[in-house]
Structure formats: structure tokens, C-alpha cells
Amino acid sequence: MRWCDEERDTFLEGVRASLPLMLGVIPFALICGIASMDAGLPVWQALVIPLVIFAGAAQLAVTHLFVIGAPAMVMVVTALVINLRFVMYSASIAPHFRQVPGRWRPLLSYLLSDQAFALSLTKFNQREGCRYPLAYTLGTGVPVFFVWHLFNGLGVLLGAGVPESWGLDFGVPLTFMALLVPAVQDRPTLVAALVSGITAVGASGLPYGLNIIFAALLGVGGGLLFDAKAERRPA
């Protein structure tokens, strides 16, 4: 499929929108690569795992389970549970891709990161909308893919040689803060963000990342409930 000039411009717009988020993606990727080597994984496995999973939170969880000797099935189920949020992501933006040929959908699914979803949803919800959602979403997803794997590989090469004084742990919260702020555009979204954030912290003791799933579900429910009540209020 050949793209017209407008589609290429839309793709580049997505690329430009994703670049500021790399300030969080880069240290997060380094952390995951270093953690893989700390876990004693062979280099080839440490490089292949992010290609298969392509989800930082799940990668860290699976690496931890590998260290403690958890069964392979537990690792698979844990990764699936943590990544259930991508089902909600897909359901949220799927209506914008009804006209996209089916052959593109596996690639879109694979490249659907937290960053690509947040940027795409924000773009699609703007008043002018997005004429070429495929081009824009690919534009947000492709840079994240390459930067993630480049610095994950660099983390593997560095191994445990990065001193703790570098403070790379800041990359994880920074990544998600950069996604959250532009996505909060109205009161229902703010309520959803607050409910999900409080739930995620309050339920952080749950195993296998279940607090993230509960936080997402309660956040969506809280936002919808607030929106429904707001609509019933007299003008």
C-alpha cells in the first residue's frame, strides 16, 4: 500500500509526538536489560525476550519469576495478566481502524505500547480528529520499538556495570507520568486517573501485577460513573 503525502506527514507527526517520551523510555529499557543480566540470563535470551514480550512491566515481572525459579506456566500467565490492559487499549481505539485493511492489524497490535496508545487516543479525541489513524499510530509506535530494543540491548551489554548512583529507576514513573498528563483533558478522565492511581498503590501487595488490572477496571468505572452523574445534573 502506497501512502500519499498527507499520510507520510501524519506518520512523521506521530514520530515527533513520541520523541519527548523517549526521556522515560530510554532509562526504563536500560533497567530491563540490566535486570535480565542480573537474573543470569544468557545474552541471547536477554535480547530475544523483549522481542517476544515487548512490554517493560511484563518483562521485569517475568525476569523476577525466572530468578526465583517459578514454573514456565506461571511466567506465561503473569505476563498475560499484566498485559491485559492492552485488551482495553485495543477496544478503546478499535473504532478508529474500521477502514484499515486487516493485514495491518497484527503489526498495529504488536506495536501498541502504552506510549502509542496514549498519544493516538489523545490525537483521535481532538476536535479535528485524525484522517489517517494507521499512519499516526505507526508513527508513534515505530520509534518506541526501535529505541526500546536499542537501549534494552545496551542494558544487556552493560550488565550490572551501571552504578546505582545513576538513578535509572526514575525512568519508570517518568514514562507513565508523561503519558498521563496530556491524556487528562476533562473531569471524568481526571477521576479515572485518580481512582486508578490510588487503587494501584493501595493494592500494590497483590501478586502478579493484579493491582494494575483492578486499578484499570476501577478507574474506568469511576470515570464512567462520574460522567453519568454529570450528565444527569440540571444545567
pLDDT-based confidence at residue 182 (cuts at 50, 70, 90): low
* Within-domain flag for 175: no
**CA angle (171 as vertex; 23, 198 as ends), nearest 5:** 120
* Cut 0.85: pTM above it: no
Q: What does the pLDDT read at residue 227? A: 73
Q: Average model confidence (pLDDT) for the chain? A: 80
Q: Do 131 and 197 have their domain in common?
A: no
Specify if 77 maps to a domain.
yes
Q: 234 and 192, same structural domain?
A: yes
Rounded mean pLDDT, 48-62: 83
Question: Which is more confidently placed, 233 or 141?
Answer: 141
Q: How many CB atoms are closer than 10 A to CB 132?
A: 20
> In this structure, are 162 and 130 located in the same domain?
yes
Band of pLDDT at residue 212, cut at 50, 70 and 90 = low
Whether residues 188 and 158 share a domain: the answer is: no
Rounded to an integer, what distance in angstroms lies between the CA atom of residue 95 and that of residue 23? 30
Of 134, 167, 200, the one marking the end of a domain is 167
Residue 162 has a pLDDT of 57
Q: Which range marks the domain in which residue 78 is found?
A: 5-167
Cα distance between residue 228 and residue 130, in whole Å = 27
Q: Are residues 195 and 122 in the same domain?
A: no
Higher-confidence residue of 121 and 190: namely 121
CA-closest candidate to residue 212, choices 226, 197, 223, 225: 197
Residues 189 and 147 in one domain: no
Looking at the structure of the chain, the number of domains it has is 2
Contact in structure between 216 and 85 (CB atoms under 8 Å): yes
Is the residue at 147 inside a domain? yes
Number of Cα atoms under 13 Å in the Cβ half of residue 190: 3
Examine residue 174 and state whether it is found in any structural domain, yes or no: no
> Are 189 and 111 part of one and the same domain?
no
Q: Are residues 201 and 149 located together in one domain of the fold?
A: no
Q: What is the DSSP string of 103-149?
A: GGHHHHHHH--HHHHHHHHHHHTSTT--S-HHHHHHHHHHHHHHHHH
Higher per-residue confidence, 186 vs 101: 101
Write down how long the chain is: 235
**189 assigned to some structural domain:** yes
pLDDT of 149 reads 93
pLDDT over threshold 70, residue 89:
yes
On whether residue 38 sits in a domain, the answer given is yes
Q: Is 178 within a domain?
A: no
124 and 193 inside one domain = no
Work out the pLDDT band at 71, boundaries 50, 70, 90: confident
More confident residue, 187 or 119: 119
**Is residue 176 pLDDT above 60, yes or no?**
no
If asked whether residues 231 and 130 sit together in one domain, one would say: no
Instruction: Show the 3-state SS of 33-96.
Output: HHHHHHCCCCHHHHHHHHHHHCCHHHHHHHHHHHHCCCCHHHHHHHHHHHCCHHHHHHHHHHHH
pLDDT reported for residue 110? 92
Q: Poorest-confidence range of 45-54, 67-76, 162-171?
A: 162-171
Last residue of a domain, one of 120, 137, 167: 167
Q: Assess whether 190 and 151 both reside in one domain.
A: no
Same domain (yes/no): 191, 115: no
Residue 34 clears pLDDT 90, i.e. is over it: no
Q: Comparing 161 with 80, which gets the higher pLDDT?
A: 80
What angle, rounded to 10 degrees, do the helices at 72-82 and 210-232 form? 20
Q: Is the pLDDT of residue 23 over 90?
A: no
145/32: higher pLDDT: 145
For the ranges 13-22, 65-74, 160-169, the maximum mean pLDDT occurs at 13-22
Cell representation of residue 146: 526501535
pLDDT of residue 147: 94
In a domain, 173, yes or no: no
Quick one: cell of 2? 502506497
Give the residue from 136, 167, 198 where a domain finishes: 167
